Amino acid sequence: MRYSTCGFRRGLWAAPVLLLLAVGGCGRYAPVRGKVTLEDGTPVTSGTVIFESKEADKPLTARGDIQTDGSYQLSTDRPGDGVPPGWYRVLVAPPPQNPDGPPVKEVFDRRYGAFATSGLEFEVKSGSNDYPIRLSKR
């Protein structure tokens, strides 16, 4: 009895494609990055940018630490993986106070630290997203 390998050979192409889709998350996330600055263009050098979905029954949250040059990159499940496309409300949290160190000076208005008062919203689309965030001084 002979078995045909024709079906097996035709299916060989599917294995690498399925593996890439599994590893890549099927395009589920879109990268989001940007730079946080004050009105005068000075970079905000620390803190956290937080995106929260507006469309989901259970809000999805992604965050990115602000680097010394003001840049941030959002992460949901893995560092730098981005967020699913959709509408997000955004807040910018100042760096946490160190109880053993000197107080950290707040450089931007406190209203940006809450979703309800920040006034920041962005639509994340498929593909790369660059969202600069400009904040009013304290």
Q: Where are the domains of the chain?
A: 28-135
pLDDT given at position 23: 43
Query: Considering only 12-21, 34-43, 64-73, 104-113, which range has the smallest mean pLDDT?
Result: 12-21
Find the mean pLDDT for residues 1-6.
53
Report CA 104 to chain centroid distance, whole Å.
Answer: 25
CB within 8 Å of 126: residues ≥ 6 apart: 27, 30, 85
Residue 27 predicted with pLDDT over 70: no
pLDDT given at position 104: 77
pLDDT given at position 4: 53
The CATH number of 28-135 is 2.60.40.1120
Find the mean pLDDT for residues 53-60.
83
pLDDT given at position 135: 97
Cα 61 to Cα 98: distance, rounded to the nearest angstrom: 25
Looking at every residue in the chain, the average pLDDT score rounds to: 84
pLDDT band at residue 59, thresholds of 50, 70 and 90?
confident
pLDDT given at position 98: 80
Find the mean pLDDT for residues 110-129.
96
CB atoms closer than 10 angstroms to residue 26: 9
